[in-house]
Amino acid sequence: MKVMKVTKMMPLIALVAMVMVGCNQPVGELVGAYKSTSFKEANPYGMLFIKKGSFLMGANTQSAVFEQPDNVVMVTVDAFWMDETEITNSEYHQFVNWVRDSIAMTNLVAAGLTDYAVQPKDEDFDEEHFRLNWAKKVPWKSREEDVVDALAPMYYSNGTFNNNQLHYRYTWVNMDEALPQRNKFDVSTSTYPPGATARVDTFWVNENGEIKDSTIYRPLKEPSDLLTTKIICIYPDTLVWARDFQFSYNDPLLQQYFKHPAYGDYPVVGVTWEQAHAFCNWRTLFFNSHSPIEANEYRLPTEAQWEYAARGGRKMAMYPWGGNYARDAKGCFFANFKPYRGAYNDDTGTTTMKVAQFRPNDFGLFDMAGNVAEWTNSAYQPASNEYIHDLNPDYNYMARKDDPDILKRKVVRGGSWKDISYFMQCGVRTYEYQYESRPFIGFRCVRSYIGD
């Protein structure tokens, strides 16, 4: 009789067991919201993978400009992707053309030519909120009156294109306003502290087409109050070739360097830190709009990332190529810089050169020394190594309109075609103001790696 009871219970026990192991998940247990999958990030086009690692950050030698050198510290950086070369004129032109075409299509839609917007199905067209139809080409050469009138604001009265109208609008979160204890979100009351404020910049375009901005204190009620929407003219300043070198005839570069196809593979210059920051935002937007999987943002490298990448895995390397000299055993130079007073051409380059003309470092990166110096994302502080964290160090500050200029200095690395060899050393740092552009400063982007 006892055996019979066990036998009758067997189907029920089997059913319970099947339910518990159905889909390999026990019922009523903590199993997670989704399965962890093996994800391998695709190699971004034009970028190289820089593996995580540790290195000694700081100058290898005494300063050549008689300033107190920063401490040398051991730090670790996580893996990231980095552009193989500096951003070229051709690549920056893609950004300029995108902004130009988006403004043109917006003007055409505002003039009633709604074919240049994506039409919603079975809904009335919203004149304030719409997506541009990138399948359409801007009819720049059209003679139709409504098209000509719509595009007319983009030209000067003499018919030449007005590059000063190429405004790019973008948004970012002011993280330095979100992190202080005074603005910490209270989970018990689901509110920000009483009196919490966010100090942000506000931007607008006046009736004369000029970009204006000011710093405001906004009550912090919700996360959107931490946002800053910036408007910036993104066309490079071509006048830097004349402005920075008085009593020097550089007019051909002034007129042709950015716009002539012959200079397409040369590094873009005349770009401020703010314009480079906008380029990174656009590059992120452009990539994610064409990718089914959203990626980490493109951005300027931190100072630590830049130096780690420049050293190419050599912890004590003075120069990116690994040695302590700027020439090889045959007397050939390793980079485009200023070897001697007035002898710019001894390294085969007078000013800038096409990217990737010299051999890369051990990470495969070109021109980490010479050609053009490069913006980093880090703010400049002479003694920052004394208090930065030893894991992914970054001394960063997003300066506001009413901040003093000393807070608007950004670290520049790598030296350029006009610099002596000292500035090409991996650990040497200098700075420029974020609103200044130079004919010897360019940039490249990085993107944090997803995974370990």
Q: Is residue 34's pLDDT more than 90?
A: no
Q: What does each C-alpha distance from 51 to 45, 77, 80, 314 come to in angstroms? A: 17, 9, 7, 13
Question: What structural domains and CATH numbers belong to the chain?
Answer: 47-88+253-448 (3.90.1580.10), 92-236 (no CATH)
Confidence band (pLDDT; 50, 70, 90) for 349? confident
> Per-residue confidence at 441, pLDDT binned at 50, 70, 90?
very high
* Residue the block writes with tokens 């380059």: 349
Whether 376 and 301 have beta carbons less than 8 Å apart is answered as yes
CA distance 203 to 224: 16
CB 85 within 8 A of CB 367: yes
384 or 340: whose pLDDT is higher? 384
Residue 10: pLDDT band with limits 50, 70, 90 = low
Strand, helix or coil for residue 286? helix
Which residue matches tokens 């690692």?
Answer: 53
Residue pLDDT, tens place only, 242-259 = 999 988 999 999 999 999
pLDDT, tens digit, 9 for 90 and up, residues 182-202 = 999 999 999 999 999 999 999
pLDDT > 80? residue 61: no
154: confidence class by pLDDT, cuts 50, 70, 90 = very high
Counting DSSP H helices and E strands in the chain, the numbers are 8, 14
Q: How many Cβ atoms sit within 10 Å of the Cβ of residue 353?
A: 21
Residues 444/374, Cβ–Cβ less than 8 Å: yes
**What pLDDT was estimated at residue 330?**
82
Question: What confidence category does residue 348 fall into, taking pLDDT thresholds of 50, 70 and 90?
Answer: confident
Query: Which residues, 6 or more positions from 296, have their beta carbon under 8 angstroms from its beta carbon?
Result: 447, 448, 449, 450
Structure token pair of residue 210: 């000029």
Contact present, 183 and 192 (Cβ < 8 Å): yes
Whether residue 97 is predicted with pLDDT greater than 80 in this model: the reply is yes
Q: How many CA atoms lie within 13 A of 266 on its CB side?
A: 22
pLDDT by residue (tens digit) across 104-136?
999 999 999 989 998 776 667 777 778 899 999
Task: Look at residue 413 in the predicted model and tell me its pLDDT.
Answer: 97
